[in-house]
Chains A and B, each alone.
Chain A
Amino acid sequence: MMEATRGNGTLPMNCTEFQERLPELFESGQDLAGDPHLATCEKCSALVDDLQYIAQQAKLLLPIHDPSPQVWDNIQSALKKEPSEA
């Protein structure tokens, strides 16, 4: 399991080191709740919470936009001009 520790694997990272490795930590898919740096850093904890929240909310963005009726009219016109390959 990848942990937010320095190269020797024992000391927690500082903020700069942690943030530099954050993309990698996220992509590893691991639960960061027990990360040693986050246990002591409110700022980085807030950052992680926010980024996770954004990613979660993005998954809830449903298709909500409809094209104008003109799009279908244009499609129909174009189809009349080209032979079907079906």
Chain B
Amino acid sequence: MPTMASSNKNTTESPGPTAPAKSPNQHLRRNPPIAGEAEAIKKAQEGDGTAFATLYGLHKRRVYSLCLRMLGNVAEAEDLTQEAFLQLHRKIGTFRGDSAFSTWLHRLSVNVVLMHLRKKGLPQVSLEETLEPSQQDGQRKDIGARDLTLTGSIDRVTLERAVENLPPGYRLVFVLHDVEGYEHNEIAGMLECSIGNSKSQLHKARMKLRDLLRSGQRTEAAGL
């Protein structure tokens, strides 16, 4: 049986003031070298607008997908994608190549989203609110109904939809940890909560996702 230990992760170079403490041996799992990227970075650092457009083309999908998953709102995700690339334009001169560019840009984008959420003062970053166990999400609910199991049955679209339906606080930690690959100590730094809170939130998010996915399966099985 495979384990669920964290396996990926992040940055060695800070792109902004809210980036948390760094950990050794961390790297993003999805930062393969991109053809033409290094040259585009160099030229963009020298002020070449075409090179900056190239960087946008190479990274827009990843930055936007991150924003959309964290926010669950297309308009906000587009606004913050715009803001992330504007910040990139301002800060690209500080990128020294100590970490992969995609890792650095990713962290910058996460920080942009978190700053936005803090300004809004919404529950997305008020973890305590969703950390409180509820009757609905309590882990001792009847979790063992034997009708269906998930293994091998969930496709990407179904999981995407379920993640969209997570409560904002759950979704934020789940996306940062399980999708984007950040460690709990990093998430705790970003969200200004304890590591224990981050772990607890993640577990509840997974439990909630399980409920959502199993409910979907039951609906499907019933032909509804």
Interface residues of A, Cβ cutoff 8 Å to B: 15-16, 19-20, 22-24, 26-33, 42-44, 46-68, 70-72, 74-75, 78-79, 82, 84-86
Contacts and interface: CB of A to CB of B under 8 A. Distances in A.
Nearest to B195: A27
Interface in B169-224: 174, 178-179, 181, 184, 199-200, 202-203, 206-207, 209-210, 213-214
Contacts of B38: none
B29 interface: yes
A53 B151 contact: yes
Nearest to A23: B203
Residues of B in contact with A, size category: 35 or more
Interface of chain B: mostly helix, strand, loop or mixed = helix
A55 B178 contact: yes
Contacts of B5: 26-30
B47 A59 contact: no
A66 B61 contact: yes
Interface stretch (B18-26, B122-130, B153-161): B153-161
Contacts of A48: 1
Interface of B: 1-6, 8, 29-30, 44-47, 49, 52-53, 56, 60-62, 64-66, 68-69, 77-78, 81-82, 85-86, 89-93, 139-140, 143-144, 146, 149-152, 154, 156, 159-160, 163, 174, 178-179, 181, 184, 199-200, 202-203, 206-207, 209-210, 213-214
Nearest to B181: A59
Nearest to A61: B179
A16 B29 CA distance: 35
B61 A27 contact: no
Nearest to A16: B140
